[in-house]
Structure 1
Amino acid sequence: MPDPGPSPLQSSLPAAAARFGAHGHGRGTEALDAVRAAPGDLPPAPAPPASTYTLPSTGTVPTARPAPPPDAGPVAEGAVREGAGPARTSAPALERLLSGPSGLGTAGLRFARGAQPPARPAAAAPASTPGNPVPGLYHHPVPEPDPVRVEEISHRIKAWAVDEVELFPPDWEDQFDGFSLGRYMVACHPDAPTVDHLMVATRLMAAENALDDVYCEDHGGSPAGLGGRLLLAHTALDPLHTTAEYHPLWERSLHADAPRRAYRSAMEYFLQEATPAQADRYRHDMARLHLGYLAEAAWAETDHVPEVWEYLAMRQFNNFRPCPTITDTVGGYELPADLHAQPAMQRVIALAGNATTIVNDLYSYTKELDSPGRHLNLPVVIAERENRSVRDAYLKAVEVHNDLMHAFEAAAAELAAACPVPNVLRFLRGVAVWVDGNHYWHQTNTYRYSLPDFW
């Protein structure tokens, strides 16, 4: 089937920038115009050395200014100050910052000086979209994902799951199909240059979900002995370096069960597209995920219901973070490691992961109530720890999600203003698109999810 090419990018960040300015903060509306601009099929401009920028450590615009080029005059005192947007001055360095990147391949990333972000498309999702959003949940509807790509990804991922890694037995086939991986990944990565790039994300998502089901959840999972299983599976991502005597035994172990087979194969495909830094980033994020699994398992073994803040701490690790942080690999470019590691970028990524994971708590609420045993999710924890009715606890969880989303969008807007490097802007945009696509998938996956009758 011919590859139809990437879909138009959609993002919640332009609206976030407009709202950010409307609240009087004045932090970088122009910068978000650059994030909105789609780079198309041109290669992104290389990022300047990271030392050119001092990024904010907690999401605020830094007091340090970009280093002026040799031909630049002095920057006016106070032109960039704490908590304020870039002032309009004639200082060449600041004007160059505001005018955006230049050079081959950067035309679509330039700033629109003085322009307001265009209005978002109509908020209502297309009439054909199944499912209803959680009432009161702050989210951004997205266009229907490209059906040609959805069909192709759905076909390829099932062939991989059945023929290459034997991911599930025949009686789980309906559940695999009902997960709708093709629709999920096309919605979350509309800028993927090829179907092969999309398949990188899709295999990893399938492998992660299989491990969760088989090791942790309702397909044989148990908290007992989970740490040992996770450690051995993690070596399929982060390979064991051992002696010649024991290396063949480890290699054979990677085929011992479906999660390890899937992890090994998905990682091999990922390494064909990822740089070494991107691969190491992903391994780190998967270690975070596995740590979160272990915390939840420990609470299950001791029948402990955490405090709300403790639950949210666990969810910062047991969350979707590994998925949006590979958005640059799937998009065919790289956010340099030093820029990815900056505290301000880490805050944006963490908030995105936290918000998207609470979306999962809300949409999977009734599914988990119908499952054996007690499943911890945010409404359940709030109900018990804050002595609320189940309805009030659920509505409070919606508020928590909305607060996280607003914090994510504000942090992304500030970082875009503080560091208008093309790859930073594109990465921020990719994370925002993933957040929106993740909600779309949860809302529309009526095979898996239904809403409680609280309204």
Structure 2
Amino acid sequence: MSEPELPPPQSHLQEAASRFGAHVLASAAARAFDIDTATGGPPCAPASPAPPAPASPALTPLDTPAMEVPAPGADLARILRGPSGLGTAGLRLILRERPPTSSEPPTDTAEGTPVPGLYYHPVPEPDPVRVEEVSRRIKSWALDEVSLYPEDWEEEFDGFSVGRYMVGCHPDAPTVDHLMVATRLMVAENAVDDCYCEDHGGSPVGLGERLLLAHTALDPLHTTEEYQPQWAKSLHADAPRRAYRSAMEYFVRAASPSQADRLRHDMARLHLGYLAEAAWAQLDHVPEVWEYLAMRQFNNFRPCPTITDTVGGYELPADLHAQAAMQKVIALAGNATTIVNDLYSYTKELDAPGRHLNLPVVIAEREGLSERDAYLKSVEVHNDLMHDFEREASALAEACPAPDVQRFLRGVATWVDGNHHWHRSNTYRYSLPDFW
């Protein structure tokens, strides 16, 4: 008896988008009522019942003319300018502290030299008022709330320019409070990387235990009454755990349960990537190029763009975020931005003690290329990832024109561009090799 054939894989994107379209229409109606009530406008309900509408063919939410559907073949540049139509003029009643910046294409006036041949998009300089305020708040949090670093690390903390980084990556954040949600997490993630894995006392030996215990600051332990206090006390045992605990507490106040669980998942991915790299370090092993790229899909910036909706003050519904097409877009964004880090931090890592794996080092070792040729090939890998990211994002925006999907894709693309801008212009940390 032959085995039954499995049905072909089914995409649930249209179904999920249809459900979300209904959600958009309902929430837009509710917002209209809220706004009219708040401003003294006419009540939502008419004085007498409206006559029944004539029968018409059933429309799915994506068929309704109230929602703007991109024409086939729309390119990414137009799509990422943002959606228009019903439900797009503020998906939450949150006012920006400052008006949005001009939508005109920015000129490339950033400090620092871009990697020659690198595919990227110039972005405007981050809002200096916001940069100053975020920088002030994050330093206060690091020193006063979590005792993150000793005095002799202050110059390095300032040189990281995390305020400028996060303001540049999240220009649509409604308030500084929203920006701080991302900024605390970024600083906490770097504390874990530095103190557990890298420069400031990090080691591959025992890393799994340290990461597991730190992860419970993000994904809390639920245990017996006898042992719960010991775990709670452990969250204050070192700077990385203190930072994770505090940053996550702020995040869950701003995020929905679904958004919080999404972040926990992506942080577990990050920690898995740390462990793979640590295993190679302990074995003094240089992986194959494809193996290194697999590790970098986990040990990368993915937790940052995946929270772009929380920082933007809205939510991409879980069933749309979980779609394979959306996950591919987010993965490609994380992969491309992480290779940017490999390229800009190349000389910094060469000057550090020991052997640091990055894409040019792995390509040189595994493919027998010179340092220069391996670096230039790494630029090509980045460019291929960027083109794949833009192509997949464009296809997804066409297939699912729901406003929050388009807004989320625009946010991820903005994060990708802001990440490059920070790496390129942070001349305190990075300089390019002399290969040209």
Would you say the 8 A contact 1:327–1:430 is kept in 2? yes
Shift of 1:391: 0.0
Shift of 1:218: 1.1
**Deviation digits for residues 279-333 of structure 1 (CA, Å, limit 9, x no counterpart):** 0000000000000000000000001100000000000000000000000000000
Matched residue, 2:108: 125
Report the Cα distance in structure 2 between the residues aligned to 1:104 and 1:406, rounded to whole angstroms.
31
Report the Cα distance in structure 1 between the residues aligned to 2:381 and 2:410, rounded to whole angstroms.
23
Report the Cα distance in structure 2 between the residues aligned to 1:74 and 1:163, rounded to whole angstroms.
56
Matched residue, 1:342: 323
Matched residue, 2:5: none
Matched residue, 2:179: 198
Percent identity over the alignment? 78
Would you say the 8 A contact 2:87–2:403 is kept in 1? no
**Deviation digits for residues 388-434 of structure 1 (CA, Å, limit 9, x no counterpart):** 00000000000000000000000000000000001100000000000
Q: Which runs of 5+ in 1 are unaligned?
A: 1-45, 53-69, 76-91, 110-118
Matched residue, 1:371: 352
Stretch deviating more after TM superposition (94-103 or 375-384): 94-103
Pick closer, same or farther for the CA change 1:191–1:385 going to 2, 3 Å.
same
Corresponding letter in the other structure for 2:197: C
Matched residue of 1:143: which SS? coil
The answer on 1:176 being equivalent to 2:153 is no
The answer on 1:229 being equivalent to 2:199 is no
**Deviation digits for residues 150-191 of structure 1 (CA, Å, limit 9, x no counterpart):** 000000000000000000011000000000001000000000
Matched residue, 1:397: 378
- How do residues 42-441 of structure 1 correspond to structure 2 at under 5 angstroms? 48-50=18-20, 71-72=56-57, 93=63, 99=69, 105-106=87-88, 121=105, 124-126=107-109, 129-441=110-422
Would you say the 8 A contact 2:17–2:320 is kept in 1? no
Corresponding letter in the other structure for 1:148: V
Pick closer, same or farther for the CA change 1:390–1:337 going to 2, 3 Å.
same
Q: Which has the larger radius of gyration?
A: 2
Matched residue of 2:116: which SS? coil
Shift of 1:71: 3.4
Shift of 1:121: 2.3
Would you say the 8 A contact 1:237–1:264 is kept in 2? yes
Would you say the 8 A contact 1:72–1:93 is kept in 2? no
Corresponding letter in the other structure for 1:170: E
Corresponding letter in the other structure for 1:121: P
Pick closer, same or farther for the CA change 1:198–1:367 going to 2, 3 Å.
same
Report the Cα distance in structure 2 between the residues aligned to 1:174 and 1:154, rounded to whole angstroms.
13
Report the Cα distance in structure 2 between the residues aligned to 1:379 and 1:103, rounded to whole angstroms.
46
**Deviation digits for residues 65-122 of structure 1 (CA, Å, limit 9, x no counterpart):** xxxxx834899xxxxxxxxxxxxxxxx949676547887543699xxxxxxxxx9725
Matched residue of 1:259: which SS? helix
Q: Which runs of 5+ in 2 are unaligned?
A: 1-15, 23-54, 71-82, 92-102
Matched residue of 1:334: which SS? coil
Shift of 1:50: 4.7
Pick closer, same or farther for the CA change 1:296–1:96 going to 2, 3 Å.
same
Corresponding letter in the other structure for 2:371: V
Q: TM-score, with normalisation over the residues of structure 2?
A: 0.80
Shift of 1:51: 9.2
Pick closer, same or farther for the CA change 1:288–1:416 going to 2, 3 Å.
same
Q: State the aligned residue count.
A: 366
Corresponding letter in the other structure for 2:203: S
Report the Cα distance in structure 1 between the residues aligned to 2:315 and 2:89, rounded to whole angstroms.
19
Matched residue, 1:34: none
Report the Cα distance in structure 1 between the residues aligned to 2:236 and 2:399, rounded to whole angstroms.
47
Would you say the 8 A contact 1:316–1:350 is kept in 2? yes
Matched residue of 1:49: which SS? helix
Q: TM-score, with normalisation over the residues of structure 1?
A: 0.77
Pick closer, same or farther for the CA change 1:369–1:49 going to 2, 3 Å.
same
Report the Cα distance in structure 2 between the residues aligned to 1:404 and 1:377, rounded to whole angstroms.
16
Report the Cα distance in structure 2 between the residues aligned to 1:319 and 1:49, rounded to whole angstroms.
32
Would you say the 8 A contact 1:47–1:423 is kept in 2? no
Corresponding letter in the other structure for 1:324: P
Would you say the 8 A contact 2:360–2:375 is kept in 1? yes
Would you say the 8 A contact 1:319–1:354 is kept in 2? yes
Report the Cα distance in structure 2 between the residues aligned to 1:249 and 1:287, rounded to whole angstroms.
23
Shift of 1:125: 1.5
